[in-house]
Structure 1
Amino acid sequence: MSTMVGNWKMAITDGCMPGDRLVLFNAGAGNAHVELTFCAEGGRPLGPFRVVVPPQRTRSATLEELAGSGLASRRVPYGVVVLSDVPVLVRPHPADQDAAQTRRPAA
């Protein structure tokens, strides 16, 4: 578990796939220190991976950019747990827009 003070937590259960992007938006006046943990069915959680989002800015990255080579097959959907020291908006952006219609939730 995180040791961050003043935690803000959310989860994305739509089944993010490798190749998808996560867009993080910090509307606040200070840096957002964000931890991301990826969870797949039958696997161990990966992370937490830490990123900083500057104030009043967005940060966009693919799951691979965030988690490195720890992700399994490109066909494995992931849930994502987002933990931040300030509120942030998180938007998953599927690599394949057509696939977004047929996604199944991660475990």
Structure 2
Amino acid sequence: MEAIGRRRWVIAEGYIPETGTGPEPQMTSHETVCLLNASPEDAAVEITLYFADRAPAGPYRLTVPAERTRHVRFNELDDPERVPRGTDYASVIVSDRPLVAQHTRLDSRQAENALMTTIAYGE
């Protein structure tokens, strides 16, 4: 199969609400990047976060296995530091293999939850 995707992706909008309603962990407010690696080789991925008022955080390192998808909750990233809640940020995702990236947010601060998704910007 011909490689699909890009090696660099940008999610310009990121925000993890500090609170949520509903059962944990399913209804915890979160940001997720869904990564598809359709290549026959594992992809080494680094995520760097950028903020309005402080130095960047990261890189957060992970692997997306060959011919698999991986959904990464930003809430669960904690090395080299935990992703802050209640803070605007943007993320840059760099991979050594072409990937497809999709961004999803669940905002469960109210009982009427909001779910948003979009394809990240790939270059």
Q: With CA pairs under 8 Å and 6+ residues apart, which has the higher RCO, 1 or 2? A: 1
Q: Which amino acid aligns with 2:14?
A: C
Return the TM-score normalized by structure 2: 0.66
Is 1:31 matched with 2:30? no
Extract unaligned runs of 5+ from structure 2: 1-5, 17-29, 108-112, 118-123
The answer to whether the Cα contact below 8 Å between 1:38 and 1:80 also exists between their aligned partners in 2 is yes
| Greater strand proportion | 2
Extract unaligned runs of 5+ from structure 1: 1-6, 102-107
Is 1:11 matched with 2:10? yes
User: What is the distance in 2 between the residues matched to 1:99 and 1:77?
Assistant: 17
Query: Root-mean-square deviation (CA), in Å?
Result: 2.2
- Percent identity among equivalent residues? 28
**Which 4+ runs in 1 deviate beyond 4 A?**
none
Is 1:98 matched with 2:109? no
Which protein shows a greater Rg? 2
Aligned length: 93
| Greater helix proportion | 1
